[in-house]
Structure 1
Amino acid sequence: MNILLEAFPGATAHIAVFGAGHVGQEIVKLGAPLPWQLHWFDSRSDVFAGHHQPRLHCYSLGDTGKCVADLPADIHALVLTHNHDEDYMLIKALIERDDVASIGLIGSDSKWASFTGRLKRDGYSDEQIARVRSPIGRIHATKLTNKTPYAIALTVVAELLWLTDTPTSQENRGLDSQSLRTLLTDPPTTTS
């Protein structure tokens, strides 16, 4: 007799996408078939129309501090709103939480240099600032020449796949035969 036991990791990774512009929309579309819980935020109320999929939760981005405080632990956060000031407030709130798994910011090197200077002036430590990846989706430290929203989203999702480190189904496939034989043939031990 052969028995195959398979374990599926489920939707354990949580991803927060702050921004529902062109790149944010593509990230959400590409992330739909993946085993992630997607938490999508935007300050514009009409941007979520037509986006319905399992494991997608849409929220209005009002008070950035409260939105970040309400995120689950070990979340991977992506900041890509349409407003630089909003991005900055989100980055500040995210780096103050020690339990955020990763923080990514869309933008140019000059945007990140500006944010770094502001964060230092606001009293954030080098360790806190170093937690932010910017720009997101930079694969092997090369710059992406294709700047279309879809291409950027592809690199961001690839980066998230690496960061979430979800085991493949092959790694979870079945038990070796000796372990299974022992499990099925050895009588359970009881203690009194």
Structure 2
Amino acid sequence: MLNIADTLHRWCREERPFALATVVDVTGSAPLPIGTSVAVDEDGNAIGSISGGCVEGAVYELCRQVLRDRGPAQRAWFGYSDDDAFAVGLTCGGELDVLVQRIDPAAQPHLGAAFGAAVEGRPAAVAQVVDGSFAGATLSVLGDSWIADRAFGDGPTGRAVGDRAGSQLRSGRTGLVSLGGDADTCPEQVTVLVHVSAARPRMLIFGAIDFAAALAQAGRFLGYHVTVCDARPVFATEARFPHADEVVVDWPHRYLAQTAVDARTAVCVLTHDAKFDIPLLQLALDLPVGYVGAMGSRRTHDARLHRLREVGVTEEQLARLRSPIGLDLGARTPEETAISITAEIIAHAHQSTGLPLTRVTGPIHRVSGAASEIQTVCDFL
């Protein structure tokens, strides 16, 4: 739903009821990820897309029905078949499970606050219960507190959903999670889709070289907050890196030790100079970051591994190092190399092979992570 947060925020300010159709599960190849929504107001105005066009008409009519009937949330399934492929089915061959519910902003003011935070770029999360007796109930997390629909009451289910939504917000991950079965904390078994609006993930580029300038541009295009760091002030200038969000003059390992990182952070070491690389990688490989890559030839890589072992870096830590950095695209120019590096970051984030799709069988869009916590395509990015 956060894909249309700006319009939903306006509709909430106007206390305009609307129907919200949200993708809560995907099987096979589908064009848009879990959490994507369409909304329809009482005047028939529609915003958003959940399938790139092939089931929009059917979803629109279902939204109008839910608004008209004022009934409980409904689930609808759309899939591919020879009979309906060009009617309401997905011609891409995938299957979508969609939750459609009526939203009354006057009775659910916490949603307007959450949408407003998302529009302003502040951290927020919205949880939707997609099945169970609480299906359609919503809860919003802002800062360290959460506010729920009256449907939850003051019972343990609401508290369990609020705690988990807060945890998802802190990790920066949108996801489908299963809760319940514990008589003390959450006796009701529920499946919850937690939509997270988090700060942009960070890309830390060390080494103020031409390759770094191209990578900064590619990283920003992908939605990263990009930092370029180098100890040499003559090279680390804003003029040389106009696409970076910040340019820092500092020793790389010293800067990394004092800056904030998380599981979505990508660390790209482009210096291939031992006096910078070794202390920096020694620290980076001991931090809970999502990706660590280092530029250099295979000879440089072998020498680097030897030095890292000498300073006590373990084999388990070394297994996290992506070096030489990037996928085998035959890249030579800084721009091509930036594509190679970002392609590897994307593949690593989604636990994908990086192989051509013509050489891979099965669905194009695959679910990554545990079945009980399904990450969307955009979680890491």
1:137 equivalent to 2:322? Answer no
Distance (whole Å) between structure 2 residues aligned to residue 29 and residue 57 of structure 1: 12
| Match for residue 52 of structure 1 among 234, 242, 265 | 242
Say if 2:252 is the partner of 1:67: no
1:12-91 superposed matches below 5 A: 12-47=200-235, 48-50=237-239, 51-53=241-243, 56-62=245-251, 64-69=252-257, 70-74=259-263, 75-81=265-271, 83-91=273-281
Shift in Å at residue 134 of structure 1? Answer: 0.2
> What CA distance in whole angstroms lies between the structure 2 residues aligned with 1:120 and 1:82?
17
What is the RMSD of the two structures over their aligned residues, measured on CA atoms?
2.6
Distance (Å, rounded) in 1 between the aligned partners of 2:340 and 2:285: 23
Question: What's the offset of the Cα at 1:106?
Answer: 0.3
Are the aligned partners of 1:11 and 1:36 in contact in 2 as well (CA < 8 Å)?
no
In the alignment, the residues of structure 1 paired with residue 303 and residue 256 of structure 2 have an alpha-carbon distance, to the nearest angstrom, of: 22
User: Any gaps of 5 or more consecutive residues in structure 1?
Assistant: 169-192
* CA distance, structure 2, for counterparts of residue 147 and residue 30 of structure 1: 16
User: What is the alpha-carbon distance in structure 2 between the residues aligned to residue 32 and residue 150 of structure 1?
Assistant: 14
Deviation at residue 82 of structure 1 after TM alignment:
5.8
Contact 1:21 1:82 in 2 (8 A): no
The aligned amino acid for 1:129 is L
Matched-pair identity in %: 25
* TM-score where L is the length of structure 2: 0.38
Q: 2:305 aligns with which of 112, 116, 120?
A: 116
1:150 matched to 2:338? The reply is no
- d(CA) in 2 for partners of 1:40 and 1:148? 19
Please tell me whether residue 100 in structure 1 is matched to residue 282 in structure 2.
no
- What residue number does 1:128 align with? 317
CA distances 1:54-108 after superposition (whole Å, capped 9, x unpaired):
x71211122x3331122322211000126332112211111122x1111000011
- Secondary structure of the structure 1 residue equivalent to 2:234: coil
- Structure that is richer in strand per residue: 2
Q: Residues 14 and 136 from structure 1, CA distance in 2 versus in 1: closer, same or farther, beyond 3 angstroms?
A: same
Contact 2:270 2:295 in 1 (8 A): yes
Q: Counterparts of 2:307 and 2:274 in 1: how far apart (Å)?
A: 12
- 1:4 matched to 2:47? The reply is yes
Q: Which letter does structure 1 place at the counterpart of 2:221? A: P
Q: Distance in 2 between matches of 1:25 and 1:67?
A: 19
Residue 127 of structure 1: CA displacement? 0.2
Segments of structure 2 that go 5 or more residues without pairing to the other structure are 1-43, 50-117, 120-196, 351-375
User: What is the alpha-carbon distance in structure 1 between the residues aligned to residue 261 and residue 227 of structure 2?
Assistant: 10
Aligned residues: 161
Instruction: Judge which range, 125-134 or 144-153, deviates more.
Output: 144-153
Question: What is the match of residue 185 of structure 1?
Answer: none
Deviation at 1:161, TM superposition (A): 3.0
- Rg larger in 1 or in 2? 2
DSSP 3-state at the match of 1:41 = strand
Q: Displacement, 1:34? A: 2.2
Q: Deviations over 1:150-177 (max 9, x none)?
A: 2211211222233455736xxxxxxxxx
Distance in 2 (CA, whole Å) between partners of 1:145 and 1:102 is 21
Aligned mates of 2:312, 2:273 — CA distance in 1: 22
- 1:31/1:21 Cα in 2 relative to 1: closer, same or farther (>3 Å)? same
Q: Deviations over 1:8-47 (max 9, x none)?
A: 9676221110111011111112223221111210112133
CA distance in structure 2 between the aligned counterparts of 1:4 and 1:30, rounded to whole angstroms: 29
Q: Which has the higher contact order (CA 8 A, sep 6+)?
A: 1
How far apart, in 1, do the equivalents of 2:272 and 2:223 lie?
27
Q: 1:115 to 1:68 in 2, by over 3 A?
A: same
Instruction: Tell me which amino acid in the other structure corresponds to 2:314.
Output: S
Aligned amino acid, residue 302 of structure 2: A
Aligned partners of 1:11 and 1:35 also within 8 Å: no
**CA distance in 1 between partners of 2:349 and 2:208 (Å):** 22
CA distance, structure 2, for counterparts of residue 46 and residue 29 of structure 1: 20
